[in-house]
Chains A and B, each alone.
Chain A
Amino acid sequence: METADVVIIGGGVIGTSIAYRLAGNHKVILIEKGEIGAGTSGSCDKAIFLQSKKPGFPIKLAQASRMVYENLEEELGMKIEFQKNGGMIVIENESHLDFMRKFVKQQNKAGINVKLVDQKEALAFQPCLSPEIVGATYSTEDAEVNPLLLTQAFAEAAKRKGIIIRTHTAVTDIVTKDGRVIGVQTNKGRIETELVINAAGPFAPKIAEMVGVGLPIIPRRGVILISEKVKPMVHGNILCSQYIATKHLSNNTDAPSYGIGLSLGQTESGNVLIGGSREFKGYDKAVEPEVLTAIAMHARRIAPFLDSIRIIRTMAGFRPFTSDGLPIISETPNMKGFIIAAGHEGDGIALAPITGLLVASLVNKDLKYKDFLDPLKFDRFNAIHASPKQG
């Protein structure tokens, strides 16, 4: 029977980042039910925003991850289109101004270089914006990356270092004995292992169920429209204050339908990515046409040039939502050999580099990242855990 030191479940940006960090020191098999980077990592935008993160620990974590990006392209030996083009949060109406002013102050205190600019300045830097906007916040620290290339680069670098990747392989069960993992059953055979890493993103709860653990991760559906190729129109990435309000204000009463908040960026090839919606719809990928229309209508108000360009396709993906907006990167109480690395919601791309390092640290049992790992522990949720499976 096949054996492995570690089995990683999930070939998205999180799973491949972990695989890369574990490579060389362990015999690792990565199992992916579809293709590498074809799920959540293949249906997201490309922004690595710092300024939008919550002050305190979330910003520290994002900063640490952002640091890893600085040399990542060189390290992985593949183009990932990492660019430091800055980011902007557009303030759409006066009612958001106060909130955003406070927000900028907070972020400055947390060490983020972000400033409030008026309508004129915003348009000077980003001529594609509507003159109707009130102003914007701008940070040079925001960056971007091609998530498809990033995931491939992690996977290829991991493979070069000896990791085995099995695509089109689905995990059907996780075999346990006396409260510890002893193997993984897939539709293509069984692998004996004492350590499983659950990096299945929005599907992580389904994997955790196999060892009788309830994960407080919920799939949140996000939809992005993709335009035809046009000449460079969007510099860096753009969010709108509505997005920040939706993300940070728990009692945001004027929340728009379908959880719509703008995220706008342009790929190197010229396609404009227009996001997006945030909806709890289970695992249903059938997006109602009204959602697409609403995203487009909201985006064109902020960036009127979108009126004259064609949408060539749309993509829907599930983001792994947690109630406190942070991922779970943790061992599992009552189940030995089951590490969880999921729940990044919309920050998977931003946090993938640090997640790989954190999980490697957990596996190697060093205490290098204790300060980062403690707040990401599973038991921070007072969730009701199902009792571990007997077996």
Chain B
Amino acid sequence: MRIKKHPILESLERKEVQITYNGKSYLAFEGETIAAALLANQIRILRYTEKGKAPRGIYCGIGHCYECRVTVDDERSVRACITRVKDQMKIISQGIDADEI
């Protein structure tokens, strides 16, 4: 899914980092958002709705719609579309764990 060579835009030089999503380990690039890193790893589901447990993914891409809420290092409701990955970041889909708030 990554765009390695763009006809107009310069290629980005970015460091590789490791993140975990729902317990599994993935590679990501420093500076990219959680949503982008997961999509690059073929992951579209970011959370499940509170009531019907229906899957949700990235929607507005600018932090406005709050559809992409994930739990990051125990902080709830972090927007995956505007939050950058960090090395060793622990990300969990909101609504996946029955015991979370």
**Is there any pair of Cβ atoms, one from A and one from B, under 8 angstroms apart in the complex?**
yes
Bound-complex Cα distance A286 to B69 (A): 30
The answer to whether B77 and A310 touch across the interface, beta carbons within 8 angstroms, is yes
Q: Which of B69, B75, B101 contacts A231 (CB 8 A)?
A: B101
Say whether B13 faces chain A, with CB atoms less than 8 Å apart. no
In the bound complex, CA of A269 to CA of B101 (Å): 14
Taking a contact as CB atoms closer than 8 A, the residue among B66, B69, B101 that contacts A308 in the complex is B101
Taking A305-B101, A308-B101 as contacts, is the C-beta distance between A229 and B50 under 8 angstroms? yes
Return the chain A residue nearest B76 by Cβ.
Answer: A308
Within the assembled complex, what's the spacing in Å between the Cα atoms of A231 and B96?
11
Say yes or no: B101 contacts A270, CB within 8 Å: no
Answer whether residue B51 sits at the interface, using C-beta atoms and an 8 A cutoff.
yes
In the bound complex, CA of A229 to CA of B56 (Å): 15
Q: Given A309-B76, A310-B76, are A230 and B101 neighbors across the interface (CB < 8 Å)?
A: yes
Q: Count of A-B contacts with CB under 8 A?
A: 25
A295-310 to B contact mask, C-beta < 8 Å, 1/0: 0000000000100111
Chain A: interface residue total (CB-CB under 8 A): 11
Shortest CB-to-CB span from B52 to chain A, Å, is: 11
**Hey, which chain A residues are within 8 Å of B100, CB to CB?**
231
Query: Which listed residue (B51, B69, B76, B77) contacts A270, Cβ 8 A?
Result: B51
Asked whether any CB of chain B lies closer than 8 Å to the CB of A97, the reply is: no
Tell me which residues across on chain A come within 8 A of B76, comparing CB atoms. Answer: 308-310
A269/B77 contact (C-beta < 8 A), A230-B101, A305-B101, A309-B101 known: no
Report the minimal beta-carbon distance from A178 to chain B, rounded to whole angstroms: 59
Residue A228, interface by CB 8 Å: yes
Does any Cβ of B come within 8 Å of A233's Cβ? yes
A229 CB contacts on chain B under 8 angstroms: 50-51
Q: Provide the residues of chain A in CB contact with B95, threshold 8 Å.
A: 231
- Bound together, the chains give a CA A230 to CA B99 distance in angstroms of 11
A231 and B50 form a contact (CB under 8 A): yes
A233 to B76, CA, bound (A): 15
- CB within 8 Å of A: which B17-32 residues: none
User: In the assembly, what is the distance between CA of A310 and CA of B71, in Å?
Assistant: 12
Q: Which residues of B81-101 are within 8 A (CB) of A?
A: 95, 100-101
- A216-230 interface bits toward B, Cβ cutoff 8 Å, 1 = contact, 0 = none: 000000000000111
Q: How far is the CA of A269 from the CA of B66 in the complex (A)?
A: 16
- Minimum CB–CB distance from B18 to chain A (whole Å) comes to 26
Determine the chain A residues whose CB is within 8 A of the CB of B50 once the complex forms.
Answer: 229-231, 269-270
Cβ of A154 to closest chain B Cβ, rounded Å: 26
Give A269 to B77 CA distance when docked, in angstroms: 17
> Whole-angstrom distance between the alpha carbons of A315 and B70 in the complex?
26
Compute how far the CA of A136 lies from the CA of B72 in the bound complex, rounded to whole angstroms. Answer: 35
Contacts of B51 on A, CB cut-off 8 Å?
229, 269-270
Residue with the greatest number of chain A CB neighbours at <10 A, chosen from B51, B66, B75, B101: B101
Query: Separation in Å of the B86 CB from the closest CB of chain A?
Result: 20
Q: In whole Å, how far is A268's beta carbon from the nearest beta carbon of chain B?
A: 8
Question: Which residue of chain B has its CB nearest to the CB of A308?
Answer: B76
Bound CA–CA A228/B49 (angstroms) = 12
A66 to B77 Cα, complex, angstroms:
38
> A233 touches which one: B66, B75, B101 (CB < 8 A)?
B101
Interface string of A166-192 (1 = CB under 8 A from B): 000000000000000000000000000
Question: A228–B101 contact, CB under 8 A?
Answer: no
Instruction: Kindly list chain B residues whose C-beta atoms are within 8 Å of the C-beta of A233.
Output: 101
Looking at A230, A270, A305, A310, the one whose CB has the most chain B CB atoms below 10 A away is A230
Q: With the chains together, A233 CA to B100 CA distance in Å?
A: 10
The distance in angstroms between the C-alpha atoms of A228 and B67, with both chains bound, is 12
Chain A, 302-327, contact with B by CB distance < 8 Å: what is the 0/1 string? Answer: 00010011100000000000000000
Please list the residues of chain A having a beta carbon within 8 angstroms of any beta carbon in chain B.
228-231, 233, 269-270, 305, 308-310
B residues engaging A (CB < 8 A)?
A: 50-51, 66, 69, 75-77, 95, 100-101
Extra A-B contacts (10), CB below 8 Å, given A230-B50, A308-B101 = A228-B66, A228-B77, A230-B101, A231-B50, A231-B100, A305-B101, A308-B75, A308-B76, A309-B76, A309-B77
Q: Kindly list the 4 A-B residue pairs having the minimum CB-CB distance in the complex, ordered from nearest.
A: A270-B50, A229-B50, A310-B77, A230-B101
17 sampled A-B residue pairs with Cβ under 8 A: A228-B66, A228-B69, A228-B77, A229-B50, A229-B51, A230-B50, A230-B101, A231-B50, A231-B101, A233-B101, A269-B50, A269-B51, A270-B50, A270-B51, A309-B76, A309-B77, A309-B101
